[in-house]
C-alpha cells in the first residue's frame, strides 16, 4: 500500500488557473420536495489545499457533502474530477473515485479491531485468499505511523472516543489512497485537545497533496486550518476567498447576511424567578452551569452543536442525572429521576429530534397531543375519544395546525405542522417552564414565523422559556437574554439590547478564550470585541 | 374499527375494514368451521366445541398478557416454564399437606415474582427480553424439577379438578373458558380503552418519544412482565386442575403455541400494534383448526407442523401484503416524496 | 502552526486499562480458568471426577454440543438466533438410524445423507429469515415445531434399537484416536479449528462479524447481508446434521424425541462462551468451551450430591449471569470513555 506521493504544499496564493482543480463543481442544484437544498452552486477544490465550507444550518453544506459521497445525486450541474467529467452513482462509486468522507459520527464496526476497520473490504490477502492478519496489522501500524499517531491497532473500536474513531476513518481513507478527504463537521463533538490533534493530521495530509474539504461552522477552526473558505447561505454560494484575506467579522457577515422575516418578540413584563440553576455539572458533558429563568422571560441558549446545551436540558427534564449542582424550581430544590417527575413539577421539554423523541408518527394528532397528560385527563383510567379530541382541538387550534382533523396521522403532516403538534402536546401539559430545543429546525420559513409568534405569546402568558437554537437570528430576535455555551461551559451572558450576531458567534466558537496558539492569528480582532462583554 | 390503536379517518371505511386482519381471521374461522362440518357431523355440536376449546385454554389465557408484552416490543418466552413451576409448587405444597387455597395463593405470588425478575432484568438492566426470558425459561423449568422431581401429584380434591374440566352449570361452557373470557375482557379494555393501553402502544411504537412524554416506561415494562408471570401461574393452576395432576414438565412447548396465537392474531412482532379481539379470534381459529385436523384423523404430530407453518405465515403474509400495498400506492400516485424527506433533507447538518 | 510530535490516542492508553476489559477480551481464557478452578474444587469432594475415564465420557458428550454450538454461534454473531437446531439434530439422528436399520445405505453414505439433511433444514431457515424477512426468533420457533413434527411423523412410535445399527457404528463415541483423544473430541476440534479459520481469515468470516456488528455500516460497504445470514443458517444446519450423526453414535437407541429440549443448552453454551446476543462479537472456540463447561457442570452435579434436576436451573442462571456480565462490561466501557473525555 502506498500513500499518495508527497506533493509540495500548495500555498493559497500559488493557486492559478493553470493548476487543474481536483474537484470542479459547476452549477450544482438539488431539490427535496419543497426545499431547494442547493441552487446553482459552484466550488473548486484544489490539490493540496484545505478548503473550509461554512454556513448556517440549512445552508446546503450537508447536501453538497452527500452529493460528493454518492448518497444523493445532483438534479443538475457537472462534477469534474481532475478535469474529467464524472457522475457519482453511489457510496461505493464515490469511494472508488478516491473520495473519502469522515462523518461527525464515524460508521465503524465496534466489535472489530482498529486495523480491521481500516482495511475492511480491502484487506491484504495471503495464500489461498485468506486474510493476511500480520500484513493487515503491519500496514495499519505503518499508516498510523505515517500519520504520527500511536494507536493499538489490535484493540476493538468499541470504547474508543469519537475523535479516535475519526482518525480510524482518516487512516481508512489513506489506505484507499483517497485524493479527496471530506471532513463533515468533524469537530462537533471533540474536545479542544482532540481538535488540535485532528488539525495536525489534516495538515500532514495536505502536505501529501490530498485535497481536504473541511465542513464546519466553527469559524476559528476554519481560520486555523483552511487555506481558502467558501460560504454557503440558503443553498447558494456566497463567496470563496483565501482565509488570510478574510476576517471573522467578514465570514459572519457572509454567513448570516440574510434578512429573515422574524416575528419579533413582544415585550413582556418579566416576573419572578421560576428556575434557578447553579453549579450544574455532568461529567464529560458540561460543568458549573448556572443561570436563572423568570416568568415571562425567554432565555436563549446559543452555542455550537455539542456545546452542552441539549445535555443541560436533558438533566433539567430528568432524562439524565446530574453529578453536581443545584436546581431550584420556584425556590424549592428539585431533582427529577424521570421525565414524568419533571413534567409533574411543571417542566416541559420539546426535544431536538422531532421524529425520534417528539412524536409517535403513526398516532393521530389527538393521541400525540394527549400522550403526556393521559393520567390527568382520565383519572378513572378509561379514555374518552371525545375528551381527547376536544383537548387536541383546543391546542392545535390555538397554534393553527393545518390538518384535516385531529384524527389525522401525525406522520402525514408537514414538518412545520408536526412541530406545532409537539408544541401543542407540551402546552396541553400546562407547564411553567418550557424548554424548546431547536424548535424551528428543518421547517419552512412560514411555519418558522408562526412558531416564533407562538413562543412569544407563551412568554407573554407568563411561562419561563428556555430557547436552545443554533439559528443565530432566531436566538437574537426571540431572547430576552442569551447564554452562550462553549465546550460545556457558559462563556457569555448577553442581554437583549447588547446582543449582536458577532458577539454571540465569537463566544460560541471560543475565539475569545485564547487557549490555542493556533487560533490566535485569526482571533486578533476578536479579542478586542470580546472585552466588551467584560 | 374503534378497537384500533390509531383509528385514522378513512373515507373508504369499508375498504379498510375489509383489509383488517381481524376480518381475515373471521373469514378464516368461518372457512374452518365449514370445512370441519364437512369432515364430521359432530363438528358443529356444542359438546365438540366445548372439548375443542377446553384443550387450548391455558394457551389462550397466557396469550392475553403476551399480547400486551409483544405490543410493548418485548417477548416473554418463559411463560410455559412458569406454568410448569406453578404446577410443581402446587403439587408439592398439596402433597405436603398445605391447604389448596394457600397453595394457589403461594403459586400466584411466585408467578408475580418470576415476572418481576424478568421485568427488572429487562427494564432496569436494559437486556434484550428474548435472551433474558430464554434464561428464565430454563431457570423456572429447572426450579420446577428441583421442587417436584419426576413424580406427579394427583390426589387433588374434587372441587379443584372439577374446575379444570367442569362446565358452567346448565351449559357446556368450560370454566377455564370463563377465565379466558374475563381476562380477554379486562385486558381488552385496558389495552384499547384506558390510557395505560395507549401508553403501551406508544412505547411499542416509539420508546424514546414515550419516555420524553413522561410515560413511565420502566414501570409499565416491569408491570406487564409481572402480569405475564402471574397469568402464567394461573394457567399452570388450570392445567393442573384440568389434568388432575401436578407435574414439573407441565406446559412444555406451550410458549410456541402462545406466540403463534398472538402473532396469528395480527400482533406485530416488532411491537406497536395488535388487538386483543384479534388474538381472541386467533385462539378460536387455532382451536377449530386443531379440532378439524383431529376429526380428519390428522395426528398431533402433523398438527405441530401446521402450527409452525401458521406461525411463519402469520408474519410473512402481513409483510408481503404491506409491501404489495405500498407498491400499489406508489404506482397509483406516481413517485411521491418520502413523507419525511422535506424535513430530513437539510434538517440534520 | 508547528506540528507536534507523536499523537497518542486513547486506544494506546486503553490496552493498559481495567481488568474488566481484559476479562471481556479474553473470555475463552477466563472460562478455561473457571473450569480448572471448579474442576479442582469438585475433585476434592469427588475424586472420581478427575479420572481419565470420566473426563473422556464428559468430553464425548460435550463434543456433540460443541459442534452444534459452533453453528449456533455463527448464527448469533449475525444478530439472529436458531431455536430449531435441536429438532434438526432429532430429524437427522432418526433418519440416519432408521436408514441404517433398514440397510438402505451403508454407514458412510448414511452419514453423508444425514449431514445433507441438516444442511437442507438449515437452508430452509436461511430462506425464511434472509429471503422472507421473518425475524429469526419467530422463524426458528416455527421451524422448531415443523421439524419436530416431521421427526414424529417419520418416526411414529418406532424406536431404533442399538442392535439395529451396523456393528461398530457407535464405536467412535467410545474410542480414542491413536489412544490419545476420544474421536468425538477430534471431530469437535476439527470443526472448531475449521470454523475459527473461516471466521478469522476469510472474507466471508469477516462479513459475518460485520453484519452482526453494524448492519448499516455493512450495507454502506456493500456487504451482501442476506447472503451472509443465509449462509450462517445453512452452516448451522449442516453442523446440527453432524451433531445428529454423533448423537446416533453416542446414544445408539434413537426414537422421534431425540434432542428434545437441548436447544437451551446449546444457546447457553454459546452465551457462556462469550458470544454476544447483540451480534458482532464472540468466537467459535468460546462457544465450544461453553459447551464443555456445561458438560462438566452436568457431570459434576451428581458427584457433589445435587440431583440432575438442578441442571436446567443452573443453565438458566448461567445464561442470565453471562448476558448480565456482558451488559455490565459494555456499560463500564462506555462510561470509561465518557470520563476519559472529560479529563
Cα–Cα dist A474/A302, whole Å: 10
Residue C19 binned pLDDT confidence (cut-offs 50, 70, 90): low
Average pLDDT estimate for C328-334: 77
Kindly state the cell numbers that stand for A98.
478516491
DSSP per residue, A47-64: TT-EEEEE--TTSSHHHH
Kindly list the partner chains of chain B, i.e. chains with 3 or more CB atom pairs below 8 Å.
Answer: A, C
Cα–Cα dist B258/B77, whole Å: 9
Cα–Cα dist A347/A335, whole Å: 12
Are the C-beta atoms of A66 and A28 separated by less than 8 Å?
A: no
Which of B222, B250, B227 is closest to B86 using CA atoms?
B250
Cα–Cα dist B55/A383, whole Å: 35
Which of C8, C150, B79 is closest to A150 using CA atoms?
C8
Which C residues, 143 through 202, put their C-beta within 8 Å of a C-beta on chain A? 197, 200-202
In chain B, the residue whose alpha carbon lies closest to the alpha carbon of A418 is B343
Region class of A58: left (phi > 0), else alpha (psi between -120 and 50), else beta: left
DSSP per residue, B154-181: ----HHHHHHHH-B-TTS--BHHHHHHH
Flag if A200 and C4 touch (Cβ within 8 Å): yes
Q: Where would I find the H helices in C252-309?
A: 263-272, 284-303
Paired strand residues for A105: none
- Helices B57-71 and B254-264 cross at an angle (nearest 10°) of 60
CATH superfamily of A259-346+432-499: P-loop containing nucleotide triphosphate hydrolases (3.40.50.300)
Kindly state the cell numbers that stand for C209.
462479524
Q: Which domains does chain C have, with CATH numbers?
A: 59-301+311-322 (1.10.3470)
Are the C-beta atoms of C276 and C97 separated by less than 8 Å?
A: no
Are the C-beta atoms of A164 and C10 separated by less than 8 Å?
A: yes
DSSP 8-state code for residue A21? P
pLDDT in tens, C158-184: 999 988 888 888 888 888 777 778 889
Flag if B213 and A371 touch (Cβ within 8 Å): yes
Are the C-beta atoms of B138 and C268 separated by less than 8 Å?
A: yes
Which segments of chain B have a pLDDT < 70?
1-19, 330-349
Flag if B343 and A357 touch (Cβ within 8 Å): no
Q: What are phi and psi of A364, to 5 degrees?
A: -75, 170
pLDDT at B14: 53
pLDDT at A127: 67
Which of A66, A73, A15 is closest to A45 using CA atoms?
A15
DSSP 8-state code for residue A273? E
Q: In tens digits, what is the pLDDT along chain A, a chain of 534 residues?
A: 444 444 444 444 444 445 688 899 999 998 876 667 888 999 999 998 999 998 876 678 888 998 998 888 889 899 998 888 888 888 888 888 889 888 877 888 988 889 989 988 777 777 667 788 888 888 899 888 877 778 888 888 887 877 788 888 888 888 888 889 999 888 766 767 778 888 988 998 898 889 999 998 777 788 889 999 999 888 889 889 898 888 877 777 787 655 555 566 777 788 899 999 999 999 888 999 999 999 999 999 998 777 889 999 999 999 999 999 999 999 999 999 999 999 999 999 999 888 889 999 989 999 999 999 999 999 999 999 899 999 999 999 888 888 888 999 998 887 788 989 999 999 999 999 999 998 887 776 677 788 888 899 889 989 999 999 877 778 888 899 999 998 888 988 999 888 877 788 778 876 644 333 333 333 333 333 333 332
Flag if B311 and C142 touch (Cβ within 8 Å): yes
Average pLDDT estimate for C273-285: 89
Are the C-beta atoms of B205 and B213 separated by less than 8 Å?
A: no
Measured between beta carbons, which residues in chain C are less than 8 angstroms from residue A160?
9-11, 14, 337
Are the C-beta atoms of B148 and B88 separated by less than 8 Å?
A: yes
CB nearest to A411's CB, from B216, B339, B344: B339
pLDDT at A4: 46
CB nearest to A155's CB, from C11, C203, C339: C11
CB nearest to A148's CB, from C7, C12, C340: C7
Interface mutation vs chain C, best among B89, B293, B312, most C CBs within 10 Å: B312
Cα–Cα dist B262/B259, whole Å: 5
What is the domain partition of chain A in residue ranges?
23-108+181-255, 259-346+432-499, 363-430
List residues in chain C touching B: CB distance below 8 A. 81, 128, 132-135, 137-139, 141-150, 152-153, 261, 264, 267-268, 271, 277-278, 307, 309-317, 319-320, 323-324, 327
Cα–Cα dist A234/A238, whole Å: 9
Q: Tell me if A23-108+181-255 shares its fold with A259-346+432-499.
A: yes
pLDDT at C172: 85
Which of A167-176, C70-79, C99-108 shows the lowest mean pLDDT across its residues? Answer: A167-176
Interface mutation vs chain A, best among B1, B213, B218, B341, most A CBs within 10 Å: B213
Size of interface A-B (CB pairs under 8 A): 140
pLDDT at B61: 96
pLDDT at C136: 93
How far is residue B334 from each of residues A65, B323, B331, measured CA to CA in Å? 29, 16, 5
R_g over Cα of chain B: 22
CB nearest to C217's CB, from A108, A148, A150: A108
Q: Are strands A464-468 and A298-303 parallel, antiparallel or unpaired?
A: parallel
Put the strands of the sheet holding A35-45 in their side by side order. A35-45, A23-32, A76-81, A84-86
Q: Where would I find the H helices in chain B?
A: 13-19, 21-39, 46-54, 57-71, 79-95, 100-119, 129-148, 158-165, 175-193, 195-205, 207-212, 217-243, 254-264, 276-295, 300-333, 341-347
Flag if C152 and B304 touch (Cβ within 8 Å): yes
Which A residues, 216 through 245, put their C-beta within 8 Å of a C-beta on chain B? 217
Which of A338-342, C255-259, C335-339 shows the lowest mean pLDDT across its residues? Answer: C335-339
Q: How far C144 CA sits from the closest chain B CA (Å)?
A: 7
Class of B48-317 per CATH?
A: mainly alpha
Are the C-beta atoms of A58 and A234 separated by less than 8 Å?
A: yes
pTM of the model: 0.84
Flag if B214 and A339 touch (Cβ within 8 Å): yes
Cα–Cα dist A253/B281, whole Å: 67
Cα–Cα dist A328/B81, whole Å: 50
pLDDT in tens, C104-133: 899 999 999 999 999 999 999 999 999 998
CB nearest to C145's CB, from B126, B141, B308: B308
- Helices C107-126 and C136-155 cross at an angle (nearest 10°) of 140
Size of interface A-C (CB pairs under 8 A): 122
CATH superfamily of A23-108+181-255: P-loop containing nucleotide triphosphate hydrolases (3.40.50.300)
Cα–Cα dist B106/B91, whole Å: 12
Where does A331-480 show beta strands of DSSP type E?
Answer: 332-333, 347-350, 433-437, 464-468
pLDDT in tens, C194-235: 999 999 888 899 999 999 999 888 887 878 899 999 999 999
Return the SS3 of C305. coil
Amino acid at each position: 500500500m502506498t500513500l499518495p506521493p508527497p506533493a509540495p504544499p500548495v500555498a493559497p496564493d500559488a493557486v492559478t488557473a493553470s493548476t487543474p482543480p481536483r474537484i470542479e463543481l459547476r452549477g450544482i442544484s438539488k431539490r427535496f420536495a419543497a426545499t431547494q437544498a442547493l441552487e446553482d452552486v459552484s466550488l473548486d477544490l484544489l490539490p493540496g489545499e484545505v478548503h473550509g465550507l461554512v454556513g448556517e444550518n440549512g445552508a446546503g453544506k450537508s447536501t453538497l457533502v452527500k452529493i460528493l459521497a454518492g448518497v444523493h445525486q445532483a438534479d443538475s450541474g457537472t462534477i469534474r474530477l481532475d478535469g474529467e467529467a464524472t457522475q457519482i452513482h453511489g457510496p461505493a462509486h464515490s469511494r472508488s473515485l478516491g473520495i473519502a468522507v469522515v462523518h461527525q459520527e464515524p460508521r465503524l464496526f465496534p466489535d472489530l479491531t482498529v486495523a480491521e476497520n481500516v482495511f475492511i473490504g480491502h484487506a491484504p490477502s495471503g495464500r489461498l485468499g485468506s486474510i493476511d492478519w500480520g500484513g493487515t496489522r503491519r500496514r495499519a501500524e505503518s499508516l498510523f505511523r505515517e500519520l504520527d499517531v500511536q494507536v493499538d491497532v489490535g484493540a476493538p473500536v468499541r470504547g474508543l472516543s469519537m475523535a479516535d474513531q475519526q482518525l480510524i476513518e482518516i487512516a481508512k481513507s489513506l489506505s484507499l489512497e483517497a485524493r479527496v478527504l471530506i471532513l463533515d463537521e468533524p469537530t462537533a463533538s471533540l474536545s479542544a485537545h482532540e481538535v488540535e490533534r485532528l488539525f495536525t493530521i489534516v495538515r500532514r495530509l495536505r502536505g501529501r497533496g490530498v485535497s481536504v474539504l473541511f465542513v464546519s461552522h466553527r469559524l476559528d477552526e476554519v481560520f486555523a486550518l483552511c487555506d481558502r473558505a467558501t460560504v454557503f447561505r440558503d443553498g447558494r454560494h456566497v463567496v470563496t476567498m483565501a482565509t488570510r484575506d478574510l476576517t471573522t467579522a467578514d465570514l459572519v457577515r457572509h454567513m448570516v447576511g440574510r434578512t429573515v422575516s422574524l416575528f419579533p418578540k413582544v415585550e413582556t413584563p418579566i416576573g419572578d424567578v421560576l428556575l434557578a440553576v447553579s453549579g450544574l455539572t455532568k461529567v464529560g458533558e458540561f460543568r458549573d452551569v448556572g443561570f436563572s429563568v423568570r416568568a415571562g422571560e425567554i432565555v436563549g441558549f446559543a452555542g455550537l452543536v455539542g456545546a452542552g446545551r441539549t445535555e443541560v436540558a436533558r438533566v433539567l427534564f430528568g432524562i439524565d442525572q446530574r453529578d453536581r449542582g443545584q436546581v431550584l424550581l420556584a425556590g424549592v430544590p428539585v431533582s427529577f429521576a424521570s421525565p414524568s417527575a419533571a413534567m409533574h413539577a411543571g417542566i416541559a421539554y420539546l426535544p431536538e429530534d422531532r421524529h425520534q423523541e417528539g412524536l409517535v408518527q403513526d398516532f393521530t394528532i389527538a393521541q400525540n397531543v394527549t400522550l403526556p397528560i393521559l393520567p390527568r385527563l382520565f383519572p378513572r383510567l378509561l379514555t374518552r375519544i371525545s375528551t381527547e379530541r376536544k383537548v387536541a382541538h383546543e391546542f392545535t387550534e390555538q397554534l393553527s395546525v393545518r390538518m384535516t382533523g385531529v384524527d389525522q396521522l401525525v406522520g402525514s403532516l408537514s414538518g412545520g405542522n408536526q412541530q406545532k403538534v409537539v408544541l401543542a402536546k407540551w402546552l396541553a401539559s400546562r407547564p411553567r417552564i418550557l424548554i424548546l430545543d431547536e424548535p424551528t429546525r428543518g421547517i419552512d420559513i412560514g411555519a418558522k414565523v408562526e412558531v416564533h409568534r407562538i413562543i412569544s405569546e407563551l412568554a407573554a402568558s407568563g411561562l419561563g422559556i428556555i430557547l436552545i437554537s443554533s439559528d443565530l437570528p432566531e436566538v437574537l430576535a426571540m431572547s430576552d437574554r442569551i447564554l452562550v455555551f462553549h465546550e460545556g461551559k457558559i462563556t457569555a451572558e448577553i442581554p437583549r439590547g447588547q446582543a449582536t450576531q458577532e458577539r454571540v458567534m465569537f463566544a460560541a466558537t471560543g475565539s475569545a478564550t485564547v487557549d490555542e496558539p493556533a487560533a490566535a492569528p485569526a482571533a486578533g480582532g476578536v479579542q478586542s470585541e470580546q472585552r466588551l462583554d467584560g | 374499527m374503534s378497537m384500533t390503536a390509531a383509528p385514522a379517518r378513512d373515507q373508504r371505511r369499508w375498504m379498510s375494514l375489509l383489509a383488517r386482519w381481524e376480518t381475515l381471521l373471521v373469514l378464516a374461522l368461518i372457512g374452518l368451521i365449514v370445512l370441519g362440518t364437512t369432515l364430521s357431523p359432530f363438528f358443529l355440536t356444542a359438546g365438540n366445541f366445548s372439548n375443542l376449546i377446553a384443550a387450548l385454554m391455558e394457551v389462550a389465557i397466557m396469550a392475553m398478557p403476551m399480547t400486551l408484552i409483544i405490543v410493548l416490543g418485548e417477548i416473554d418466552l418463559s411463560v410455559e416454564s412458569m406454568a410448569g413451576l406453578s404446577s410443581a409448587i402446587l403439587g408439592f405444597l398439596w402433597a405436603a399437606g398445605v391447604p389448596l387455597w394457600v397453595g394457589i395463593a403461594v403459586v400466584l405470588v411466585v408467578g408475580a415474582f418470576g415476572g418481576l425478575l424478568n421485568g427488572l432484568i429487562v427494564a432496569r438492566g436494559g437486556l434484550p427480553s428474548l435472551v433474558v426470558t430464554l434464561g428464565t425459561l430454563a431457570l423456572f423449568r429447572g426450579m420446577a424439577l428441583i421442587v417436584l422431581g419426576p413424580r406427579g401429584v394427583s390426589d387433588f380434591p374434587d372441587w379443584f379438578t372439577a374446575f379444570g374440566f367442569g362446565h358452567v352449570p346448565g351449559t357446556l361452557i368450560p370454566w377455564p373458558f370463563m377465565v379466558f373470557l374475563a381476562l380477554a375482557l379486562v385486558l381488552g379494555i385496558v389495552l384499547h380503552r384506558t390510557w395505560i393501553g395507549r401508553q403501551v402502544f406508544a412505547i411499542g411504537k416509539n420508546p424514546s418519544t414515550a419516555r420524553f412524554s413522561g410515560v413511565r416506561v420502566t414501570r409499565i415494562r416491569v408491570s406487564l412482565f409481572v402480569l405475564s408471570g402471574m397469568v402464567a401461574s394461573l394457567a399452570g393452576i388450570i392445567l393442573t386442575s384440568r389434568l388432575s395432576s401436578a407435574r414439573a414438565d407441565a406446559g412444555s412447548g406451550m410458549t410456541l403455541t402462545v406466540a403463534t396465537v398472538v402473532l396469528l392474531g395480527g400482533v406485530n412482532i416488532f411491537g406497536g400494534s395488535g388487538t386483543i379481539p384479534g388474538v381472541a379470534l386467533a385462539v378460536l381459529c387455532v382451536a377449530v383448526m386443531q379440532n378439524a385436523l383431529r376429526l380428519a384423523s390428522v395426528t398431533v404430530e402433523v398438527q405441530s407442523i401446521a402450527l409452525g407453518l401458521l406461525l411463519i405465515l402469520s408474519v410473512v403474509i402481513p409483510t408481503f401484503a404491506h409491501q404489495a400495498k405500498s407498491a400499489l400506492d406508489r404506482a397509483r400516485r406516481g413517485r411521491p416524496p418520502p413523507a419525511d424527506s422535506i424535513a430530513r433533507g437539510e434538517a440534520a447538518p | 502552526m508547528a506540528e507536534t510530535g507523536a499523537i497518542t490516542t486513547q486506544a494506546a492508553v486503553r490496552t493498559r486499562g481495567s481488568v474488566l476489559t481484559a476479562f471481556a477480551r479474553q473470555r475463552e481464557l477466563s472460562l478455561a480458568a473457571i473450569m480448572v478452578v471448579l474442576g479442582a474444587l469438585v475433585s476434592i469432594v469427588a475424586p472420581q471426577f478427575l479420572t481419565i475415564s470420566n473426563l473422556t465420557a464428559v468430553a464425548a458428550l460435550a463434543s456433540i454440543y460443541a459442534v452444534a454450538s459452533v453453528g449456533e454461534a455463527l448464527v448469533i454473531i449475525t444478530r439472529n438466533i436458531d431455536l430449531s437446531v435441536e429438532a434438526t439434530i432429532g430429524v437427522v439422528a432418526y433418519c440416519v438410524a432408521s436408514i441404517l436399520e433398514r440397510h438402505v445405505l451403508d454407514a458412510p453414505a448414511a452419514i453423508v445423507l444425514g449431514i445433507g439433511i441438516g444442511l437442507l433444514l438449515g437452508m430452509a431457515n436461511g430462506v425464511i429469515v434472509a429471503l422472507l424477512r421473518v425475524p429469526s426468533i419467530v422463524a426458528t420457533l416455527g421451524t422448531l415445531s415443523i421439524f419436530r413434527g416431521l421427526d414424529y411423523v417419520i418416526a411414529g412410535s418406532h424406536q431404533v434399537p442399538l442392535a439395529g445399527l451396523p456393528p461398530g457404528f457407535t464405536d467412535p463415541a467410545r474410542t480414542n484416536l491413536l489412544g490419545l483423544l476420544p474421536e468425538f473430541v477430534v471431530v469437535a476440534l476439527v470443526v472448531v479449528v475449521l470454523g475459527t479459520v473461516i471466521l478469522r481469515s476469510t472474507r466471508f468470516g469477516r462479513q459475518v462479524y460485520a453484519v452482526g456488528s453494524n448492519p448499516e455500516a455493512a450495507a454502506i460497504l456493500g456487504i451482501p447481508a442476506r447472503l451472509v445470514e443465509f449462509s450462517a443458517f445453512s452452516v448451522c444446519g449442516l453442523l446440527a446434521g453432524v451433531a445428529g450423526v454423533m448423537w446416533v453414535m453416542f446414544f445408539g437407541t434413537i426414537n422421534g424425541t431425540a434432542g428434545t429440549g437441548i436447544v437451551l443448552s446449546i444457546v447457553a453454551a454459546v452465551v457462556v462462551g462469550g458470544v454476544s446476543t447483540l451480534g458482532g462479537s464472540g468466537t467459535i472456540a468460546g462457544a465450544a468451551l461453553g459447551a464443555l463447561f456445561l458438560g462438566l457442570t452436568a457431570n459434576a452435579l451428581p458427584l457433589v450430591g445435587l440431583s440432575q434436576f438442578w441442571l436446567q436451573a443452573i443453565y438458566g442462571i448461567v445464561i442470565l449471569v453471562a448476558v448480565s456480565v456482558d451488559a455490565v462490561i459494555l456499560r463500564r466501557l462506555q462510561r470509561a470513555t465518557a470520563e476519559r473525555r472529560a479529563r
